[in-house]
Amino acid sequence: MTGASISIRRRLTRMLLLSSSVVLGVTSLAFCTYEFLTFRQSSVQQLEILSHAIASNSTAALAFDNAEDASGVLAAFSADPHIVAAALYDARGNLFATYPKTLDAALVPEHAGDSGYRFTRSALLGFQPVAAGTERLGTLYVRSDLGAMYARIRLYALIVTLMIAVSLPLAYLISRRLQHQLLKPILALGDTARAVSERSDYGVRAKRSGTDEIDLFTDTFNQMLTQIQGSERKLRDQLSRLSLLQHITRAIGERQDLPSIFQVVLGSLEANLPIDFGCFLLYDAEQSSLTVSGLRLASGTHAKELDLSERSMVPIDQNGLSRCIAGMLVYEPDVREVPFPFPQRLAAAGFCSLVFAPLIVENQVFGVLVVARIREQAFSSGECEFVKQLSEHVALASHQARLYGALQKAYDDLRLSQHTVMQQERLRALGQMASGIAHDINNAISPISLYTESLLERETNLSERARGYLVTIQRAIDDVARTVSRMREFYREREAQLTLERVELNRAIRQVVELTRPRWNDLPQQRGAMVDLRMELAESLPEIMGAEHEIRDALTNLIFNAVDAMPTGGTITVRTRELALTEGRSRSLVEVTDTGVGMDEDTRRRCLEPFYTTKGERGTGLGLAMVYGMIQRHSAELQIESEVGAGTTVRLDFPTHASSVIYPSQMTRPVVSTRRLRILLVDDDPVLIKSLHDTLQEDGHLVSEAQGGQAGIEAFAAAHQGAERFDVVITDLGMPHIDGRKVSTSIKEIAPTTPVILLTGWGRRMIDENETPPGVDRVLSKPPRLTELRAALAELLP
């Protein structure tokens, strides 16, 4: 810059000096030329005047032929030292007199020439006529050297030199001063430009100097600076917003749930954009409503007037919000002029400018980002654009979070199903084992049952004590059979699909209470705690339609929970009642109430979630979830009332089957067949065959036995060939190689009219489910009751 200024300064000086020199030179030249020309002219005129005077004075001398006097007159030329020669010629043109008297002849022509003056190289000479009146008397010749002119020229040269010598330094000084005036603003401008370029400070401004052109220049420069400053500020804003956008995007990318994404976005906006108010509204297209989710208020604003909180509903205005829901970015520079409820609420809270940005995923608006500032007109177009872009990012992140949530839920469901499947598998294995055990037990106790029944019936001469023992044995056998039956029912394999059956709730409850007795009675007792279980069951409770085993499982879980809630003991009350509704419909309520520790609000809200447990390692977190699943499958309702320290009540509310009637308890009457029958017994268990053989034979029947299915079919076929055919076949179901189903089919092939009674360890289940195999006329469960067997025979063979 210094170099440049010096250069400018030098150039200006040079220009000024050069132009002054040129002007001076031209002026001097013109002046000199003018002077030279005028001097020549004036020289001629002077010489002419002088000559005229001399000529006039010499008239008399010429007229009266006085050469002496003529010479005297010519001597007057001595006054002018430059006149080197003069001469007078008479009227005839002959030389009459000369000046000076002694004269170089070359300087004077011999005869007079034409009148007039002319310059030669070295002299100005001329002829002047001498006349008196009109009479020409002679001619005067004058010759003047040019010394005067040369002297004049020398003088001019001197003057010009002096003038230049004086004026150039003067011009230099003036130019320096003027330059200073001129350069000062330019240098100041240069300093400003340097300050701008070195410090990138676009806020500095060049000062006006008071000179029009420079001011114009300065103004233009300042205007340019203003523009650059504006652009730079815009660029910086853009950059900062971009970095904010990146920051927010990164932050929300790390989060997978909407509330935390919203909080992060609003927090960043509040801190960095900044905004005074921000919230997210989630849009429910079905209900056409907006719900506040995520709210940020700058401190010192009027939160009370705003009257907004999480989950509060916001009506959709005609103007701003509805346009935003339609997918447009809405900017209200001054909400005080917007006559709609939501902007008015914001205006009442002191916010003047606001922006609604839609959150759009896959062309669907699912929410609105609202940002507001206290000032009016506070959002620049750049900020609006930023909010728009941000809303797109947020929408994307929210979408991802939703997808992630759905994925998580699917994963959880999968894990739950896996768990359930595993549990079912375990239960299935247990069920199979239990079935096997039940079958064996049934087989094993069948002779006991048969013989006891037979003895009590036939042996009339038994002592009272023996009879008493037998009755006890019979009751015990019944208990065993019932226990086995219940056990098998409980562990029985679940159907893939829920098949609804009539369920008598009171019976199911009794069963569950009995089955869970070890848990609520024995285990607490071992710990020294006393749990009292009370059943308050309504009489004549209507049946419901449902899956009994699921209901039992649910009740079991509820009782377990109740026990767990009372580590120091207490009372469990299981209550059923009917809730009558209109139009003959009613609901059946089952309540399980404990006096345990209860649940707080959070636990109560979350207790139905899968894997939510308060039992630590002991709990799976699936108990109530399964209950809830059952409730949902039964179109029932679940209510949980709880208070910390005051116990919990879980209420199951089942819809009652419309046509349900009170379950009549089936009474069996002893029927004894009057006919003597030929009976074929087929079983692989010799003890059972023997006991059946004995008891049936005692009834008067003719009993044959076959050990195993194959033997039975052969025996029947053989007898069928002969005269003594079997009236009825009683076959066991589970036999190696050929089981009861095949036996019955074969027999029906041989003799379609011969009844087949199937005995089975799974018999009750078959009866319950009406699952009679082809060819079987009656299914009886083990242990066979003699009365049931007689009734079946009497019914099949009247």
**Candidate ranges 108-116, 217-225, 241-249, 600-608; the one touching another protein (CB under 8 A):** 108-116
CB 452 within 8 A of CB 477: yes
Nearer to another protein, 114 or 539 (CB): 114
Window contacting another protein (CB under 8 A); options: 113-121, 170-178, 613-621, 663-671: 113-121
Q: Which stretch binds another protein (CB under 8 A): 133-141, 164-172, 308-316, 428-436?
A: 133-141
Tell me, residue by residue from 26 to 65, as one string, x for binding to another protein by CB under 8 A and - for no binding. Answer: ------------------------------xx-xxx-xxx
- CB-based burial label for 216 (10 Å; 0-12, 13-18, 19+): exposed
Residue 317 phi, psi dihedral angles, 5° rounding: -70, 160
Nearer to another protein, 116 or 567 (CB): 116
Residue placing its CB nearer to another protein in the complex, 131 or 348: 131
The set of residues, in sequence order, having a beta carbon less than 8 Å from that of 293 and lying 6+ positions away, is 258, 259, 262, 279, 280, 281, 282, 310, 311, 367
Closer CB to another protein, residue 60 or residue 148? 60
For another protein, which residue of 5, 13, 21, 115 counts as binding (CB under 8 A)?
115
Cβ(374)–Cβ(352) under 8 Å?
yes
Residue 330 has a CB neighbour count (10 Å cut-off) of: 23
Structure-block tokens of residue 386? 């930023």
Does residue 411 belong to the site contacting another protein (CB under 8 A)? Answer: no
CA distances from 82 to 48, 130, 648, 744 (A): 14, 22, 151, 180
Query: To the nearest whole angstrom, how small is the minimum distance from the Cβ of residue 64 to another protein?
Result: 5
Give least dist CB 50 to another protein, A: 17
- Distance separating alpha carbons of residues 692 and 388, to the nearest angstrom: 89
Q: Give whichever of 99 and 277 is closer to another protein, judged by the CB atom.
A: 99
Work out which of 136, 482, 517, 527 binds another protein, going by CB under 8 A: 136
For the CB of residue 134, give the shortest distance to another protein in the complex, in Å.
9
Q: Is 289 buried (19+), middle (13-18) or exposed (0-12) by CB count in 10 A?
A: middle
d(Cα 452, Cα 691) in Å, to the nearest integer? 10
CB of 139 to another protein, least distance (A): 10
Least distance CB 60 / another protein (angstroms): 4
Burial pattern 777-789, b for ≥16 Cβ within 10 A else e, equals bbbbbbbbbbebb
Q: Which of 66, 291, 389, 511 binds another protein (CB under 8 A)?
A: 66
Which two tokens mark 791? 């009734």
H or E segment to which residue 705 belongs = strand 702-707
Q: Give which of 597, 588, 585, 596 is closest to 551, Cα–Cα.
A: 588
Q: Does 469 bind another protein (CB under 8 A)?
A: no
- Cite the beta strand spans of 149-240 per DSSP E: none
**Residues 295/279, Cβ–Cβ less than 8 Å:** yes
Interaction between residue 92 and another protein (CB under 8 A): yes
One of 6, 26, 37, 132 touching another protein (CB under 8 A): 132
**363: left (phi > 0), else alpha (psi -120 to 50), else beta?**
left
The stretch among 128-136, 271-279, 362-370, 704-712 that binds another protein (CB under 8 A) is 128-136
**Given the rule CB under 8 A, which of 112-120, 277-285, 293-301, 384-392 is the region that contacts another protein?**
112-120
Q: How far is the CB of 175 from another protein (least distance, A)?
A: 44
User: Cα–chain-centroid distance for residue 388?
Assistant: 12
Residue 307 makes contact with another protein by CB under 8 A: no
The reply on whether position 618 binds another protein by CB under 8 A is no
Considering only CA atoms, give the Rg of the chain.
69
List all residues 6 or more positions away from 263 whose beta carbon is below 8 Å from its beta carbon: 294, 296
Interface with another protein (CB under 8 A), residue from 12, 24, 32, 91: 91
Q: How many residues bind another protein (CB under 8 A)?
A: 20
Instruction: Determine the Cα–Cα distance for residues 111 and 127; give it in Å rounded to an integer.
Output: 11
Shortest spacing between CB 178 and another protein, in angstroms: 46
Among 110, 135, 714, 749, binds another protein (CB under 8 A): 135
**Binding segment (CB under 8 A) for another protein, from list 23-31, 110-118, 603-611, 784-792:** 110-118
Show the binding pattern over residues 69-88: x = contacts another protein (CB under 8 A), - = does not.
x-------------------
Q: How far is the CB of 177 from another protein (least distance, A)?
A: 49
Nearer to another protein, 53 or 242 (CB): 53
Binding stretches for another protein (CB under 8 A): 56-57, 59-61, 63-66, 69, 91-92, 114-116, 129, 132-133, 135-136
